[in-house]
């Protein structure tokens, strides 16, 4: 009986000090989107269809890290002439800056789940802090692949002019609302 109690205590202690878990972002289900005011009438929505990255989460310690790289040329809006214009030198300048990167500096957890993540976004060669708040987060087993995964939805804001993207601010808003869906598989 004593041996069983010692083994049970050891198991609980091991669980309480769980190691960080590494994840690879699923590029098919990680889609950074944004909204921006157009002509003062409506929000236009754009998205980036190619991104990838790695994350590490330790829900017991309440820590994490993430690095995400987004291919700027993968921008889509559903409007071909707008896509060409936004990919050009006045906005994303995809020829000169083919990627943008978010690198976390701090995770905050609440009730064992990520609540927000702060980090640095590098876009157009300029790095600025960005805070992303989780509106949903869950981990579990994927229903078809049976692999362990985590995913969630994040929101945040930035000013495009902070990154040097100052063209047409009287027509296209400066405030950008970020809407990001992310799914990742355990390594």
Q: Which residue has the higher pLDDT, 81 or 18?
A: 81
Burial of 144 (C-beta count, 10 Å sphere; 0-12/13-18/19+):
exposed
Q: Is residue 111 domain-resident? A: yes
Q: Is residue 7 domain-resident? A: no
Q: Is residue 10 domain-resident? A: no
In percent, the amount of the chain with pLDDT more than 70 equals 90
Question: What's the pLDDT at 18?
Answer: 66
Quote the domain boundaries for residue 49. Answer: 18-186
Number of domains in the chain: 1
Least confident segment among 9-18, 55-64, 165-174? 9-18
For 123-187, give the secondary structure using H, E and C. ECCEEEEEEEEEEEEEEEECCCCCCEEEEEEEEEEEEHHHHCCCCCCCCEEEEEEEEEEEEEEEC
Q: Is residue 49 domain-resident? A: yes
List pLDDT tens digits, range 26-83.
999 999 999 999 999 999 999 999 999 999 999 899 999 999 999 999 999 999 999 9
Place of tokens 């906005």: 91
Place of tokens 């300029």: 126
Q: Is residue 177 domain-resident? A: yes
List pLDDT tens digits, range 94-151.
999 999 999 999 999 999 899 999 999 999 999 999 999 999 999 999 999 999 999 9
Q: Is residue 59 domain-resident? A: yes
Q: What is the CATH number of the domain that holds 124?
A: 2.40.128.110
Q: Is residue 5 domain-resident? A: no
pTM: 0.88
Q: Is residue 8 domain-resident? A: no
């Amino acid at each position: 009986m004593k041996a069983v109690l010692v083994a049970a205590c050891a198991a609980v202690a091991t669980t309480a000090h769980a190691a960080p878990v590494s994840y690879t972002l699923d590029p098919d289900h990680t889609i950074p989107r944004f909204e921006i005011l157009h002509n003062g009438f409506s929000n236009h929505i754009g998205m980036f269809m190619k991104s990838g990255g790695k994350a590490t989460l330790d829900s017991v310690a309440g820590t994490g890290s993430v690095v995400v790289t987004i291919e700027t040329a993968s921008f889509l809006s559903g409007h071909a002439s707008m896509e060409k214009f936004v990919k050009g030198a006045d906005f994303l300048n995809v020829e000169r800056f083919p990627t943008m990167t978010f690198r976390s500096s701090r995770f905050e957890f609440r009730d064992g789940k990520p609540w927000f993540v702060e980090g640095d976004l590098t876009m157009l060669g300029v790095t600025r802090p960005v805070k992303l708040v989780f509106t949903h987060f869950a981990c579990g087993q994927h229903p078809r692949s049976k692999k362990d995964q985590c995913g969630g939805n994040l929101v945040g804001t930035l000013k495009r002019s902070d990154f040097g993207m100052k063209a047409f601010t009287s027509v296209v808003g400066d405030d950008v609302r970020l809407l990001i869906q992310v799914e990742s598989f355990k390594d």
